Structures are given as structure tokens and as C-alpha cells.
Structure 1
Amino acid sequence: MVAEHVVLVETVLPLDTRHGRRRLADALEPLWPLAAPSPTPPPQAGEGPGVRVLAIDTETTGLAGGTGTAAFMIGIAAAEPDGVRLRQWVLTAFAGEAAMLEALASSLAAADLMVSYNGKTFDLPLLRDRRRLQRGPALPEPPHLDLLHPTRRLFRRAWPDCRLATSERRLLGLVREDDLPGSEAPRAWRDYLAGAPSDELAGVLRHNALDVLSLLALGPALARSLHEPTSCGADACAAAAIWARCGERGHALSVLEAARERLDTRGALELARTLRGAGRVAEAAAIWERLAAAGSREAAERLAKYHEHVRRDWTRALDYARLLDQGPEARHRRRRLKRRLAAGQGRLDL
């Protein structure tokens, strides 16, 4: 017990512990480009303690949020050179909430990066509100990587859903057995406070522990999927967009080119856009021509601009402009091209 009405359960797991088909040592792998800048590597043995990447998950009295909802359990996990340190605080009465949040604040202050799953929407706002109600100072908040968002971007087209259990099964090979559903956790905790045996509360602790350990393993697994997205069913366009946002346009182009044969219209348009940005305009135009022939209005618009401004071939530019919708911009483009042709400028193939 760390304070009155708060119990701390602390465990250190060896790095070679299996978590699905992964090892917990994977949690030491870099998260680039998901997290930018990539967090500092954990210290080596003998260099002193230091929490770098901190996974966090809460078990709460309800899922609706608001001031009537509180966290009765907070779990955090951090990969260190000697193992993964798992800490779980459990309230035995609401009077211990301030002490629990103070203990959490100390751990957050030592972290370089915090990872969660839907934590930006649920866990962190809830903890902020509870800290405010306890009249405590604001919780330290290191840079926060909510893994739900890149998971959705990468896999929403391929998976039936992007729940944590689905991510665990697909990316980590982890299938939970005899796991107490999270929806049952509030009842199990209330029953424990009312004097029931601790068996079901132990199930809540195990459920929470699996959550935070999965978060440590999922970050590197998602980062690996960005290098070869098609090998794990990820959306190559989404992977390329993540690389591009980090300024790694070469990686973005490589990912799209590797997936060229599997790209749909949306992906092919993104490949063409990226090729154009890399100065490979003729290759981009070849993709636009194929897509325009298949009925893509966006590809036709790109070709109208290409032939007007790059090739200076106003006849072909007008041919593609005629395929566009009847919006004001398209009408203006057609009138401008017709004026150029009527002026006898014809084609200047520079």
C-alpha cells in the first residue's frame, strides 16, 4: 500500500517474456516515424534509471466520462534495460484518489513519450478532470502517441474494426484466454469493495496488465508496418502519408512504388502526386492517362493542367478539360483554352 486507500501492484517482467508472438524486448525498438522526434533510447545497464516510453491505461467506474466517472485502477508499463516494469494502482476507497494521481504524476514527469489506445479522447481527459476535482496541480503530460489513430489510418480498410483486441490479434498474435471483459471491471471492483473475494479483481488487474503490455509492443509493430505496409495488409497510402508528414518523402514514394500493382484509384492518384513532387512528371502523367481513360475526373483535371502549363499543348488540355464537371473553375479553364486556340497559338511543345 503506497498510501491510505491505495494499493500498488508492481511487477518486473524479463525482456524475453513472450507477448503473443512478440517478445517484450520489442518495446525497446524505435517508434519512428510514428513518434517524431523518436524518443531517446532507454539507458544501458549501469547508466542509471530512466523511464522513456510509458504505456498507460485506466479502468474506470463507467465509460460515459464526465465528473461522475473516476478511474479506480491506473496501469502503466515502461521498458527498461533490465525488464518491463509494470505498475498498477488500485483504489480501495475514493479517499485515496488524490494519492493515486500524485503517484501517477511522478511517473509521467519522468517519461519522454506516453502511449495509449484512445487515451487522447478518454483516459487523459478523465485523469485531468479528476486531478482538477482533487484541486491538485495539472498532471505532467509528455508527448502523447495515441495508437488508435495510426491504427485506424493504416488498417480501417482491411480490418472489421480497430479495437485493441483486434490489433493485438492481427499485429501481435495475441489471443486473450479467460480474460475478464473491460465492461465487467466496474462491477468486479464494486463487489470487491463490498467484501466479495478478490478473484474477479485479480482478473481486472490481469486485463489491465495485458492492455498496457500490448501498448508497449504495438507501437514498434505499427512502426515496422510502415516500411512494408502491404506485407501486413496496411494501407500503403496511409503509410506514405505518415512518412511524408515526417519529411521522409523518399520513404513515402518507395512505399507507394512497392505497392503499385495493388493500388486502387485513390492510391494511384497519390502515387502520381508523389512522383510529380519528386520531379518525375512524365511518369505521373502516364498514371493520370490510365486513370482518366477509366473515368477518373481528378486524373483528367491533372492532365488538363499538365498539358496546359507543362506541355503547352492547349488542344489536348482542352480535350481533358471537356471531361470535367460544369463547375466555375472548369468552365473558366475551358474558356481560357478556347481563347488561346482561337488566337492561333496552337501547340508549343517545349
Structure 2
Amino acid sequence: MSRRDALAGRLARLKKDGLSPPVKKTHGKVINQPFKLSHLDGWSEISPYVWKKTVSYENPLNEVYPQSLLLPQETRSDNLIFYDTETTGLSTGAGTIPFLIGIGCVNDRRFEITQLFLADYPGEIHLLEELNRLFREDAVFVSYNGKTYDSHLINTRFLMNGLRVKKRQEVDLLYTSRRLWKNILDNCRLGTIEKEIMSITRGPDIPGAEIPDVWFDFLKTGDTEKLERVFSHNLQDIYSLSLLLHQIEEIIEGKASHLSYDRFSLGRTLLFHNRHEGINLLQQELDRGNRKAGEFLSLYWKRHGEWDKSVAIWQRMNHRGYHYFSVEELAKFYEHKAKDYREALKYIDKILKGPVPPAQEIREKLIHRKKRLLLKLEKEV
């Protein structure tokens, strides 16, 4: 089959499914007639099949976030671009296209969101050219799952349309959100975080899974009623991204103690970035009875040679004598660091002879350590 025949077959199938552009007859000729959005407030046609709208909101961002873990050092908020796409499918394959792209940025102390809408397939190249103009290479891009999905999809469409893919420095808020809330919320969807953490209640909305069908219905009928909900959904996503970034930065700076979030996970992340505020968070969690925080903090002090602090945490966590992690670490310390084999043996015997027998694997490890300690004690005699 030739390429021309294959293309003709595809066009025939599209027409059969009702996906061809609307047409009207003029003096015996058939011409393409793109749907209009001019009856919707704020939309203007910038090229055939491509429409644009800009909305201005109060700016929720600080000028800079000097203690940020997410943004490059000294990044100004007016150099951020927040973006999100609404697409014809859920994959990033060649058959999926973004028909609506929202771009949010700070302009003259206001937060502006520009939406680009594709009214039919022939306008895709014009939409991407406009997007390329708005996507500054010196900007820092902020998304929610953009690294995995939106960015790859946009790059694919650029390549398929012969456009140069600009490098983008991207901050994906999904990863940080998971650290802060995956152990607290049922899921880390943006809508869930809006409702449960930021107390945002959306108005009339549309589930994301239904959005592709809305666009295909629009191509068939020209009906914009459901499409308006898609526009609103996209606007809220973009503005929520800006609110979420600010909220996360407030948490990192210790200015949002009233919010629920995983303090152990944040403390661990702060220490990973050599931020000593993480020590206070982990200590607070240990005081609340969070054993994971105690384990992590004790090993942090151990790596830094602060043995007194590590031993104090292990003894505190093992106050009843049956906390296996602390017993093992105390036994290691007294055997290898303090060279006090009898003290190490005391901790092991207590857990072996305790009221709750340890699991078989743990018991075997303790017995092996005990035998080694007994041999070392014999050599001392």
C-alpha cells in the first residue's frame, strides 16, 4: 500500500467517525469552516484554528524564596513559568496532542494565565509556534507531573512538526508533594491536595478522564458548553500550581506549622540538603514517638561521629530493652567502638530472653553476634 493510499484510508476513517472539520457550501464549493469561540468572553483567534485568552489574578507568590529546596538559588518569581496541558489521550505517543495549554507567570505584580486552544487539527503547528514564543529558555518551568508527561508530550509534538525543542529547567511539584503527603492523604492528585491541604473548593468542574471526549465532541458539534468547564479546569490547575509552590516554600521555611504534612519526610529531605533545620524536625518527631525519625537521626549522628548523641537516642528508644534496631546498634557500638563486650552481650541477652521471642531471622543474627562476643570474652581471660 502506498503512503497516499494509507493517508486516504485514515482520512476516510476520520470522516466516518465524524472527526473531519465542519464544512459549508458556498457557490457550489466546499470550504473548511473552523468553529468560532468569539462568543466566549476573552477569547481571540490568533491564527487559523488557534485561539488565545489571558486572565489576570492576584499574585500569590513571594518575590524570591531564599531558603528554597526546589528552585535554583535566587530564582525570582517573575522568572517562573507554570504550565499544564489538556490532551486528546493519556499517553505521550504520536497520536496524542495537547489541544489546550495553560501558561502562568508573574507580570507587573499580577499572576497572568494565558491559554492556547486548538480548535482543530490543522492549527497545531501555529499553536506550537506560539507556545515556543512564550516558552523562554531562561525561565524555570513549574508543573505537576510535567517531567513524566506534559514535557515529553510537548517535545514529541515539537519534533513531529519540525520545531526546535528548547531546553527547559523544570521543577515538578508532584515529587515534593508525595514526600509531604503520601502518608497522610489517600492520594496525591492535585485536586486532593487542593481540598485537604489548601482548603480550595472548586466550582463546577470536570473529571480529567472525560476531557479528551469533550474536545472530540466539540469537533463534531461545535458545542462549547462542556468545553468551558475544561477551560476553567485548566485555569484552576495553573493557579493551584502557584499556590502549591508558595505553600511548600512556606512549609520548608517553617511558616506553616498549622498544616498537616509528613515532618519526618521533610526533616530527612532537609538533612539530605545539609539543612540543619531537619534535625529539629526529626527531634520533634522522635519526641512524638516516631521511631523512624529516631532511627534516621541516630544514624545521622553516627555517620558524623557524634556517638554520644546516637547512643542517647538508642537507649531512649530501647528503654524497655526489646527494640531490635536499638539493641543491634548498641551492641555494635559496645563491641566495635567501646570494646565493652560484656555490655554488648547484656543487650543481646535481654532481647533473646525477653517475653516476646524475636523472629527467626533476627534470632539467628543475634545468636551469631552473641557467639562472636563470647569468643572475644574468652580471649580477654
How does the TM-score come out when normalised to structure 2? 0.77
C-alpha deviation, 1:221, in angstroms: 0.4
User: Distance between the aligned counterparts of 1:149 and 1:62, measured in 2?
Assistant: 23
Which has the higher mean CA deviation after the structures are superposed, 224-233 or 182-191? 224-233
1:186-221 superposed Cα distances (whole Å, 9 cap, x missing partner): 222222222333232222111101001110110120
Q: Percent of pairs identical after alignment?
A: 27
C-alpha deviation, 1:230, in angstroms: 5.9
C-alpha deviation, 1:270, in angstroms: 1.6
C-alpha deviation, 1:243, in angstroms: 1.0
1:284-324 superposed Cα distances (whole Å, 9 cap, x missing partner): 22321243446432222211222123322112223445659
Q: Which residue of 2 aligns with 1:33?
A: 68
Contact 1:27-1:219 at 8 Å conserved across structures = no
Contact 1:132-1:138 at 8 Å conserved across structures = yes
User: Distance between the aligned counterparts of 1:296 and 1:101, measured in 2?
Assistant: 59
User: Distance between the aligned counterparts of 2:102 and 2:199, measured in 1?
Assistant: 22
Describe the SS at the equivalent of 2:47.
Answer: coil
Q: Which residue of 1 aligns with 2:80?
A: 53
Describe the SS at the equivalent of 1:34.
Answer: coil
**Among 143, 146, 149, the residue aligned to 2:172:** 146
Distance of aligned partners of 1:100 and 1:235 in 2 relative to their CA distance in 1, 3 Å threshold: same
**Among 157, 160, 167, the residue aligned to 1:133:** 160
**Among 41, 46, 55, the residue aligned to 1:11:** 55
Contact 1:227-1:255 at 8 Å conserved across structures = no
Q: Which residue of 1 aligns with 2:244?
A: 218
User: Distance between the aligned counterparts of 2:167 and 2:54, measured in 1?
Assistant: 21
For residues 188-207 of structure 1, what are the structure 2 equivalents within 5 Å?
A: 188-207=214-233
C-alpha deviation, 1:327, in angstroms: 9.2
Residue identity in the other structure for 1:273? L
Q: Which residue of 1 aligns with 2:295?
A: 269
For residues 87-98 of structure 1, what are the structure 2 equivalents within 5 Å?
A: 87-98=114-125
Contact 1:31-1:220 at 8 Å conserved across structures = no
C-alpha deviation, 1:113, in angstroms: 1.6
- Taking only aligned residues, the RMSD between alpha carbons, in angstroms, comes to 2.7
User: Distance between the aligned counterparts of 2:62 and 2:257, measured in 1?
Assistant: 23
Distance of aligned partners of 1:306 and 1:227 in 2 relative to their CA distance in 1, 3 Å threshold: farther
Q: Which residue of 2 aligns with 1:2?
A: 46
User: Distance between the aligned counterparts of 2:125 and 2:311, measured in 1?
Assistant: 62
Q: Which residue of 1 aligns with 2:27?
A: none
Q: Which residue of 1 aligns with 2:373?
A: 337
**Among 173, 184, 190, the residue aligned to 2:199:** 173
Describe the SS at the equivalent of 1:253.
Answer: helix
C-alpha deviation, 1:261, in angstroms: 2.4
C-alpha deviation, 1:96, in angstroms: 1.9
User: Distance between the aligned counterparts of 2:198 and 2:98, measured in 1?
Assistant: 27
More relative contact order, 1 or 2 (CA 8 Å, 6+ apart): 1
**Among 76, 99, 104, the residue aligned to 2:131:** 104
Q: Which residue of 1 aligns with 2:277?
A: 251
Contact 1:230-1:236 at 8 Å conserved across structures = no
Q: Which has the larger radius of gyration?
A: 2
User: Distance between the aligned counterparts of 1:29 and 1:208, measured in 2?
Assistant: 26
User: Distance between the aligned counterparts of 2:147 and 2:348, measured in 1?
Assistant: 45
Residue 286 of structure 1 pairs with residue 322 of structure 2:
no
User: Distance between the aligned counterparts of 2:230 and 2:236, measured in 1?
Assistant: 10
Which has the higher mean CA deviation after the structures are superposed, 29-38 or 180-189? 29-38
Aligned length, in residue pairs:
326
Describe the SS at the equivalent of 2:380.
Answer: coil
Distance of aligned partners of 1:81 and 1:317 in 2 relative to their CA distance in 1, 3 Å threshold: farther
Q: Which residue of 2 aligns with 1:314?
A: 341
**Among 184, 194, 200, the residue aligned to 1:158:** 184
1:238-259 superposed Cα distances (whole Å, 9 cap, x missing partner): 10122122221x1110211233
Describe the SS at the equivalent of 1:8.
Answer: strand
Describe the SS at the equivalent of 2:111.
Answer: strand
Contact 1:305-1:317 at 8 Å conserved across structures = yes
Contact 2:67-2:253 at 8 Å conserved across structures = no
Residue 240 of structure 1 pairs with residue 275 of structure 2:
no
- Gapped regions of structure 2 (runs ≥ 5): 1-44, 352-357
How does the TM-score come out when normalised to structure 1? 0.83
Residue identity in the other structure for 2:103? I
